[in-house]
Amino acid sequence: MRNLRPSELKAWLDDAARANPVLLDVREGWEYERCHLEGATLLPMSTLPTRLGELDPLCEMVVICHHGVRSFHVARFLEHNGFANVINLAGGVDAWAREVDRAMPTY
């Protein structure tokens, strides 16, 4: 599994020549409502096993959480279930807010 820092993900999202990855936010709904990356899809970690079929195992996917721990575990789970292009956002939305978007609320 690969890890990306927020600045690396920002550069990817800003690169018009490169297709955007699926942004999979695995936090709880209240966390997502507080702050999230534009275009991210909410799929709480607790619901993942029953909703796995909603995800395309061929897509490049960046998994996001608060600090990068839950997303790391979800990325490993996805890899063990046949997903080959899974990337963890190191530091999560907290690092995104500190390194990329200082206007993003933190918690």
**pLDDT tens track for 60-74:** 999 999 999 999 999
Asked: is 2-99 a CATH 3.40.250.10 domain? The reply is: yes
Taking the domains of the chain in order of start, what are their residue ranges? 2-99
The pLDDT score that the predictor gives to residue 45 is: 97
* pLDDT for the residue 41: 97
Reply yes or no on whether the pLDDT at 30 is more than 90: yes
The 10s digit of each residue's pLDDT in 5-15 is 999 999 999 99
3-class DSSP assignment, residue 77: helix
Please give the positions annotated as active site: 65
In this model, does residue 1 exceed pLDDT 90?
no
* Per-residue H/E/C for 18-65: CCCCEEEECCCHHHHHHCCCCCCEECCHHHHHHHHHHCCCCCCEEEEC
Q: What is the pLDDT of residue 40?
A: 98
Q: Specify the pTM.
A: 0.96
Output the average pLDDT for the chain. 97
